[in-house]
A and B are shown apart, each in its own frame.
Chain A
Amino acid sequence: MKEHIRGQAYVVGDSIDTDQIIPAIHLVYSMTVPEERQFYGRYALSGLPEASQGLPHGSTPFTPGDAFKSPYSFIIAGGNFGCGSSREHAPFALQEAGAEVVIAESYARIFYRNAVDGGFVIPFETRVRLIDEIKTGDVLSLTTGTGILKNETSGTEYLLEPLGDIAEILKCGNVFEYARQAGMMTQR
């Protein structure tokens, strides 16, 4: 897990489900073949209705045009982020697009687990409704160890919720390394 992360924010609303994160029609691409997996970056968050693409103004796709990478490192969301299906393609697509962190008021549990166990993106929780305070394009910097988030554009600082138990898995990189350390999987 990186100690410092700095980049632009992409702000979405409440209850963004996995079909909005990666529409089911795209799930046929291989997640390992490089020429195919990059499409997960292209179509990440492409299921958002136009008006909710990058708040507060909307109409700002997460990955612009024909690009495979998104300019945004942070996704700022309301409650119940990642609800819906169990598709691991969802946190994977966000990572593939270049996102590193999601900061939401709450998560659907399978998305949360997938993000952590696969080591795709770091899911931070916030008590403050950041989607009312941060705008798409604001420059943020985060210290992962302390959970201190700074909005460099507005100058405001926030303290995110502690990562708790999942910090151990995130430090290991993914659940396999964690399982090895817990003695649940033989060392390679």
Chain B
Amino acid sequence: MAQTITEKILAQHARRESVRPGENIWIDVDILMTHDVCGPPTIDIFKREFGENAAVWNKDKLVILPDHYIFTEDPHAMRNIEILRKFAREQDLPHYFDVGTSRYKGVCHIALAEEGFNRPGDVLFGTDSHTCTSGAFGLFSTGVGNTDAALIMGTGKIWVKVPETMRFVFEGDLPPYLMAKDLILSVIGDIGFEGGTYKALEFDGKAVFDLSMEERMTLTNMAIEAGGKNGIIAPDEKTFDYVKARTDHGFVPVYGDPGARYYHERVYDVSKMEPVVAKPHRPDNLANVSEVEGTKLDRAYIGSCTGGKIEDFMAAAAVLEGQEVRVDTFVVPASTEVTQALRTRTMNGKTIWQVFLDAGCKMGHASCGACLGGPVDTFGRTHGTEVVISTTNRNFPGRMGSKQSAVYLASPLTVAASAIHGVITDPREVLV
């Protein structure tokens, strides 16, 4: 039976020839990831169910990445890190990336890629809804809660319902004023933010394979904003190069069969697409930038697993170079590796970091930052009625802190162009 890449990976991990959408199956998990917000309660449940002194099912397959509430004085948040630290010591975990050490990484989804944990053909679960990001590397990855994570922690297994696959094909050449963020916001706007519920979202077509791994991650990252179970892109040479540069661990790539059944298929010509935003307060509240141009802003934010990668900052820096921002602009690298790159890569003889500083941006530490609001002292958090344009992925009421603030989601190019003018601005106006 012809199967999609998602069905095939799931079948292999259920040790079966094939699976059908809608079936409930038990599968083996290759990697489990957790972080500082959901790790501690997961550990509590694990101990409750498997015993105070139980060992995790496989030390090499558990990755713990504190990233959410890091640079804060909040005592409860600090206690969470202590709990992770203690657990990592108890269990002698090789993949714990502690805060305050040179091992600290930052946002989990980016760190998983950078540290070589995203391997084609694998199954990866994480206690974070944006775990679907890893699917950019041709693996099945999805977010779960603490209870499911605790079950995996103890057994290495979990039940899943095999999703139907929706395919989004992007053809044509991507114009320089568009980024992957515009493509995925358009998809979410088109199918609605529950249009992909329980479904696998597969991205395909020349324009997708033209993208770098980082940009592909922006596509799969936001699969969850359409309700999707996982986002996935078949692996190619770029995937293999990235993974091999980061790990010696072997992997077996999996591809969909010709003739596999798709529940839904949509084809886009990227050369005809427009820079877009998601207006407050839903990620599917789509508008062309031209429709909201001139909207007055109080703040711009460049960061998160969606828009805080090296290429996101390179794109923003190209716009901000030699310019000055008119609104408070917060820059939060997703990972310490990204910070490092900003401090070493240059543009017209200046480091990228300096480009942002000279443009008047405020620079933060690698972490989730204000992407999800966080404790009151979080860098970039909203506290009032701020109107924000942001490279992050969610704009529900209160997501960046204050329930009264309003968040527009856009690409790093659009955010940077808007920061310069203090109003929402089409990147075509500033790109030369």
| Complex CA–CA separation, A88 to B69 (angstroms) | 17
Quick check: B26 and A182 within 8 Å, CB to CB? yes
Contact with B along A135-152 (1 / 0, CB 8 A): 000000000000000000
Given contacts A28-B74, A184-B157, contact A23 B147 (CB under 8 A): no
Given contacts A15-B282, A20-B396, A32-B44, contact A114 B147 (CB under 8 A): yes
Quick check: B147 and A86 within 8 Å, CB to CB? no
Quick check: B398 and A118 within 8 Å, CB to CB? no
Specify which of B131, B151, B396 is in contact with A19 (CB 8 Å cutoff): B396
- Residue B374 lies at the interface, judged by CB distance under 8 Å to chain A: yes
Q: Which of B37, B41, B147 has the most CB of A within 10 A?
A: B147
Quick check: A80 and B373 within 8 Å, CB to CB? no
Q: Which of A29, A87, A106, A107 has the most CB of B within 10 A?
A: A87
- CB neighbours (8 Å) of B151 from chain A are 117, 175-176, 179, 185
Contact with B along A19-63 (1 / 0, CB 8 A): 110011101111110000000000000010100000000000000
- Residue A113 lies at the interface, judged by CB distance under 8 Å to chain B: yes
- Residue A167 lies at the interface, judged by CB distance under 8 Å to chain B: no
The bracket for how many chain A residues form the interface is 35 or more
Quick check: B374 and A24 within 8 Å, CB to CB? yes
CB closest residue in chain A, given B142: A110
- Surface stretch bound by A, among B96-104, B112-120, B193-201, B345-353: B193-201
Quick check: B398 and A47 within 8 Å, CB to CB? yes
| Complex CA–CA separation, A86 to B33 (angstroms) | 13
Specify which of B40, B131, B148, B396 is in contact with A117 (CB 8 Å cutoff): B148
Contact with A along B134-148 (1 / 0, CB 8 A): 000000000111111
| Complex CA–CA separation, A185 to B102 (angstroms) | 38
Chain A nearest CB, measured from B27 CB (Å): 10
Given contacts A20-B398, A86-B128, A165-B24, contact A80 B194 (CB under 8 A): yes
Quick check: B127 and A86 within 8 Å, CB to CB? yes
Quick check: B397 and A174 within 8 Å, CB to CB? no
- CB neighbours (8 Å) of A25 from chain B are 373-376, 401
Q: Which of B373-406 contact A (CB under 8 A)?
A: 373-376, 394, 396-399, 401, 403
- Residue A71 lies at the interface, judged by CB distance under 8 Å to chain B: no
Quick check: A118 and B147 within 8 Å, CB to CB? yes
- CB neighbours (8 Å) of A162 from chain B are none
Quick check: A185 and B373 within 8 Å, CB to CB? no
Quick check: B80 and A28 within 8 Å, CB to CB? yes
Specify which of A30, A174, A182 is in contact with B147 (CB 8 Å cutoff): A174
Quick check: A86 and B282 within 8 Å, CB to CB? no
| Complex CA–CA separation, A176 to B154 (angstroms) | 10
Quick check: A109 and B197 within 8 Å, CB to CB? yes
| Complex CA–CA separation, A30 to B75 (angstroms) | 12
Specify which of B26, B147, B396 is in contact with A88 (CB 8 Å cutoff): B147
Chain A nearest CB, measured from B264 CB (Å): 17
Chain B nearest CB, measured from A102 CB (Å): 15
Quick check: A108 and B44 within 8 Å, CB to CB? no
- Residue B334 lies at the interface, judged by CB distance under 8 Å to chain A: no
- CB neighbours (8 Å) of A15 from chain B are 193-194, 282
| Complex CA–CA separation, A50 to B394 (angstroms) | 21
- Residue B249 lies at the interface, judged by CB distance under 8 Å to chain A: no
- CB neighbours (8 Å) of B193 from chain A are 15, 80, 83
| Complex CA–CA separation, A45 to B189 (angstroms) | 26
Q: Which of A17, A79, A84, A110 has the most CB of B within 10 A?
A: A110
Quick check: B37 and A87 within 8 Å, CB to CB? yes
| Complex CA–CA separation, A53 to B314 (angstroms) | 43
Given contacts A86-B38, A87-B38, A88-B41, contact A19 B145 (CB under 8 A): no
Given contacts A86-B127, A86-B143, A118-B147, contact A109 B229 (CB under 8 A): yes
- Residue A154 lies at the interface, judged by CB distance under 8 Å to chain B: no
| Complex CA–CA separation, A49 to B404 (angstroms) | 9
Given contacts A15-B193, A25-B374, A176-B49, contact A114 B145 (CB under 8 A): yes
| Complex CA–CA separation, A31 to B193 (angstroms) | 29
Chain A nearest CB, measured from B420 CB (Å): 30
CB closest residue in chain A, given B374: A24
- CB neighbours (8 Å) of B394 from chain A are 17, 19, 84
Chain B nearest CB, measured from A121 CB (Å): 13
Shortest beta-carbon contacts, A-B, top 10? A28-B76, A88-B145, A114-B145, A86-B143, A86-B129, A118-B147, A80-B194, A17-B396, A88-B146, A31-B41
A and B contact pairs by CB, cutoff 8 A, 8 listed: A23-B373, A28-B80, A31-B41, A86-B144, A86-B145, A88-B38, A114-B144, A165-B24
Interface residues of B (CB under 8 A from A): 24, 26, 37-38, 40-41, 44, 49, 69, 74, 76-77, 79-80, 127-129, 131, 143-148, 151, 154-155, 157, 159, 161, 193-194, 197-198, 227, 229, 282, 372-376, 394, 396-399, 401, 403
